[in-house]
Structure 1
Amino acid sequence: MIDETDLVARARAGDGDAFGVLVEPHRRELQVHCYRMLGSFQDAEDALQDTLLSAWQGLDSFEERASLRTWLYRIATNRCLNARRAARRRRAKEWDIPDVEPPEPTGMGELPWLEPYPDALLAGAATASPGPEARTEQAEAISLAFVTALQLLPPRQLAVLILRDVLGYHAREVAGMLDSTVGSVDSALKRARAGLRGRLPSSGEREPAPAPDSPAERALVARFVRAYESADIAALVDLLTEDVTVSMPPIPFEYAGRDAVARFCAAIIRPGRTYDLVPTRANGQPAFALYVRVADDGLRQGTGLLVLDLSGDRVCAMTRFERSVLPSFGLPPSLPG
């Protein structure tokens, strides 16, 4: 059993290995916390490294009245708030799909910095159970819809909601983390919950998604892949809900409704432009690396990552990310013939 007190003492004396052992159990969950705060996998990794460096340099300020985990969350939360204030965010890009003319979008996105989070890394983030005040299911708390809605909240409301409803910290603990008061935390949480309700569908508005890797999910995903790879637009559209949406950060174009999404799919997926879909998972949802055949020798070039949001036996949202996210999922930029 690890003696945390001994490790803290050794780390304070300059033992970097002891510090590594001390923080390693919390590393992945801190990265997920930073991801929820910032909405970007790369920004989250930067914030995590900043957090660990600050903890190493400021270990003498750890008074051990709260747990090490709580102290680390305090540092991570404030580093993320600083990053939000600095506004070093990715800018929206122009259309980046060669030889494709996009249809007129129905709306414009607000979050060009949004990135997916690989499911392969989530297992290491589940080491600590949420506290007694948590009220948001952990699967929901990492979904793209939830993370997107979080990004539209004011920064302190965002921080309070994550610390209280996702991680389950008491109001008094959150007030200490944010150098605030319990009354201020309660007020921010009330406003954040109201803001979140306005951006997420209520439980009665949409059928629940099939369980991950269940027969129902596998069957729906298989139908989607067949339709996409065979450029069968009619079969693909048949799998969509009436209120389906498509977004593609950092490109700001958004498409809402089955008719608009059908026009988008027809522009992207057409005879002569053949795709191969390589399965993966992101944010607890089915996802696919998209590879398009660009040469007679069968070379397939990665064009992006598509994440599906499911409702019952239909797809209710598709989010396409640019190909720069593929390495985070252990996926190559291209596939040989």
Structure 2
Amino acid sequence: MPTPLSPEAIRSAPKVLLHDHLDGGLRPQTVIELAEACGHQGLPTTDPVALGNWFRDNANSGSLVRYLEGFAHTCGVMQDEAALVRVASEAAQDLAADGVVYAEVRYAPELFTERGLTLEQAVEAVQEGFRQGEAAAGNRIKVGTLLCAMRQNDGWQRIADLVVRYRDAGVVGFDIAGPELGFPATRELPAFEYLRQQNAHFTIHAGEADGAESIWRAVQFCGAERLGHGVRLTEDIEGDKVGHLAAYVRDRRIALEMCPTSNVQTGAVASLAEHPIKRLDALGFRVTVNTDNRLMSDCSMSGEFATVVERFGFGWDDLRRFTVNAAKAAFLPLDERRALIRDVVEPGYAALAE
């Protein structure tokens, strides 16, 4: 008899996470302690529970711009090497405690240079933190890093260079983050051309705050291997009729990094009931489930799985499929992806299903 889909059972299931922002997943207590240590001003409260609620309430605005305002505090306390090591280590430990066996965590190095850190120092500190966190979690998790360029800023090539330079140290890919509307992925095409020439991986935030045309640019001009969110791909789908762009994304197995709670909070979808995850899954898209920002959205991978189970009636087979989809789309070598699925994901879900 299958194990009931209880929160405890879901937490024990092996999970693969592809879309999680380092600066959106701090522990509230850590924000408070780091703010005191570095002199960061303006926290709305120094009570950890109240602070966590403040981040959540600020995110529940229906606006991506408002959603991003909370990052002034998290990034504000992540401006020295010790802070970055701590935050990255705690992120790895928290994810492992939630049953995540492989995670790709992303951040923009340029956001951590306000007090004199170089881009290289920021990257090396985060990588050290992830390694420490993996060890502290008993090596039950492996973390790969995605480096983001901020799409409203110039200099994407600098971040692309870092991806290539540090790819043998755990940096697995590139992304562009920040306000999508008005800042198309085609602003700095040479950065993507360089990454392809260097055989480097990249995903692109698209179809969250802008429409299907944003996805088209990310895929057809830039060559995105995955899409951050991608919920507005449904603009190219009418009923069961899949348009040419959507069919291309589906048929090329370009993974959709969907973040249900965040997608509602940022206004990418009007409500959870209207989220297209079940529709896209039924049509054969490579759907994955992710957290986006665990602090801002007050969520976890287990919580996101429980949410889609409750709302859409998904079962163990569906959660397994989402996890296998994520493992297949991970920016890992083929042998490591196969081993992850064969040795960790499949046995874990088989035990729960049987």
With the length of structure 2 as denominator, give the TM-score of the two structures: 0.28
Structure richer in helix, relative to its length: 2
Q: Look at both structures and tell me which one has the larger radius of gyration over its CA atoms.
A: 1
Where relative contact order (Cα < 8 A, 6+ residues apart) is larger, the structure is 2
